[in-house]
Amino acid sequence: MKELTKAEEQVMQILWKKGEAFVKEIVDEFEDNKPAYTTIATILKILETKGFVSHHEFGKMYKFFPIIDKDEYGRKYLNNFAKNYFNSSFKKIASFFVEDNEVSVNELEEIRRIIDKEIKSKRAE
- Report pLDDT digits (tens) over 49-95: 999 999 999 999 999 999 999 999 999 998 888 899 999 898 888 88
> Starting from the edge strand earliest in sequence, which strands make up the sheet with 53-58, in order?
21-22, 61-66, 53-58
Report which of 60, 69, 73, 24 is spatially closest to residue 44, judged by C-alpha positions. 24
Query: Does position 100 have pLDDT exceeding 80, yes or no?
Result: no
What is the pTM assigned to this prediction?
A: 0.77
Q: How far apart are CA 93 and CA 91, in angstroms?
A: 5
- Report pLDDT digits (tens) over 27-50: 999 998 899 999 999 999 999 999
Decide the pairing of beta strands 21-22 and 61-66.
antiparallel
